[in-house]
Amino acid sequence: MESLDAPAELDIFKRWLEIIEARFSIQIDESRQDAFRSALLRYVESQGMDLWSFNERRKAGQVCGDTWSMVLHLATNHETRFFRSLPATQRIVELCKQITAPKILSVGCSTGEEPYSIASALLDAGHPTFRVHGTDVSSMCISTAREGLYPRHPNVGTLAAAPTRDDKMRFHLFVREMVTFEEHNILQDRPVQLPNPHIVITQNMLIYYRTETRYEILDRLASMLTPGGHLITGPGETLNWSNLSMKRIPHSNPNVFQRSVDV
Ligand SMILES: C[S@@+](CC[C@H](N)C(=O)[O-])C[C@H]1O[C@@H](n2cnc3c(N)ncnc32)[C@H](O)[C@@H]1O
């Protein structure tokens, strides 16, 4: 096998970058490429291949969906934390005051901290009934999220989770029933398992996509919303996106858009 830093190995890795970027319309930032290269090499070697034989399999159409998901998992960043954006969580709680049984979709939810933060904040605000549905392209992230088991966090109250041994907390069963997860690639056409949400939130995912792909994703998210529903994204993530059915709420941090009621 070629050494890791041999020019031929760098060439085949560059080819893989092009393949992955074209297939998933993502951009893998230069600062992440070394880490991705090591992770991809470890993965293909664990499957008894190298980047060349893996490419031969790809050309023969023998790379299955699960393997592509794993490659995408390795290529993307899954960093997250509880209450990462307090303004976004507060905005959701505010919007939910007008809705009896709100349905909230969190797209690119990673290991689940964002959906559970929303649930915890809604419970603390006295909201007894809601549904939060998290989707992520990574099956590994979704498995972790479904467990509902995390290191303890000071802002997650006992209404939502119970302390366990080893400084951990587990979300109560009734919370895990209201907070559901699904492996889903937002660039694919399959509908998500939460139709017509009142609120869609996506944060720190769009930044990995080129402008035209971001706009495609935002159009999709807008079309999923119930009429009058809201789309929330991180500040600066929507660039100059506009959509005839969506009105940008001025001066909002995070970005908030509302879908027209006449669609
Ligand atoms: C950096 S994390 C952000 C997690 C969380 N939203 C937050 O702000 O803390 C981005 C997540 O988006 C997911 N992702 C990337 N592309 C995706 C796609 N096409 N469909 C669904 N999830 C995707 C990644 O797997 C990753 O877990």
pLDDT digits (tens, 9 = 90+) for 135-169: 998 888 999 999 999 999 999 999 999 999 899 99
Q: Which of 213, 255, 256, 210 is nearest to 236 (CA)?
A: 255
Please give the order of strands across the beta sheet that includes 179-183. Answer: 179-183, 131-136, 103-107, 199-202, 230-233, 255-259, 246-248
Contacts of 132 (CB under 8 A, 6+ apart): 104, 105, 106, 115, 116, 118, 119, 122, 178, 179, 180
127 vs 208, which has greater pLDDT?
127
- Residue 195 preceded by cis peptide, ω within 30: no
**CB 79 near ligand 1, within 6 Å:** yes
d(CA 189, ligand 1 centre) in Å: 17
Residue nearest to atom 14 of ligand 1 (CA): 108
**Ligand 1 atom closest to the CA of 80, numbered from 1:** 9
**Ligand 1 atom closest to the CA of 77, numbered from 1:** 1
**pLDDT at residue 5, as a whole number:** 60
Please give the C-alpha separations between residue 28 and each of 72, 138, 144, 249, in angstroms, as whole numbers: 10, 16, 24, 31
Residue 48, token pair as written in the block: 């008894």
On the question of pLDDT at 113 being above 60, the answer is yes
* Average pLDDT for 12-20: 95
**Ligand 1 atom closest to the CA of 185, numbered from 1:** 20
On the question of pLDDT at 197 being above 90, the answer is yes
**CB 200 near ligand 1, within 6 Å:** no
Where do you find CATH 3.40.50.150 in the chain?
86-259
d(CA 110, ligand 1 centre) in Å: 5
DSSP 209: B
Mean pLDDT for the chain overall: 94
**pLDDT at residue 263, as a whole number:** 79
**CB 117 near ligand 1, within 6 Å:** no
**pLDDT at residue 219, as a whole number:** 98
8 Å CB contact between 215 and 206? no
d(CA 125, ligand 1 centre) in Å: 27
**CB 9 near ligand 1, within 6 Å:** no
* Average pLDDT for 106-133: 97
Residue nearest to atom 3 of ligand 1 (CA): 204
Residue 226, token pair as written in the block: 């119930």
> CA 40 to CA 204: how far, in whole Å?
22
**CB 203 near ligand 1, within 6 Å:** yes
The position carrying tokens 């933060």 is 117
pLDDT-derived band at 255 (thresholds 50, 70, 90) equals very high
**CB 96 near ligand 1, within 6 Å:** no
**Ligand 1 atom closest to the CA of 187, numbered from 1:** 19
213 vs 10, which has greater pLDDT?
213
Torsion of CA 108, 110, 114, 117, to 10 degrees: 150
Q: Which of 198, 93, 73 is nearest to 142 (CA)?
A: 73
8 Å CB contact between 8 and 2? yes
**CB 77 near ligand 1, within 6 Å:** yes
Q: Which CATH code for domain 86-259?
A: 3.40.50.150
Residue 12, token pair as written in the block: 């085949």
Q: Which of 80, 180, 175, 92 is nearest to 129 (CA)?
A: 175
Residue range 211-252, pLDDT digits in tens: 998 999 999 999 999 999 999 999 999 999 999 999 999 988
Percent of the chain with pLDDT over 90: 80
**Ligand 1 atom closest to the CA of 110, numbered from 1:** 27
149 vs 24, which has greater pLDDT?
149
**Ligand 1 atom closest to the CA of 202, numbered from 1:** 6
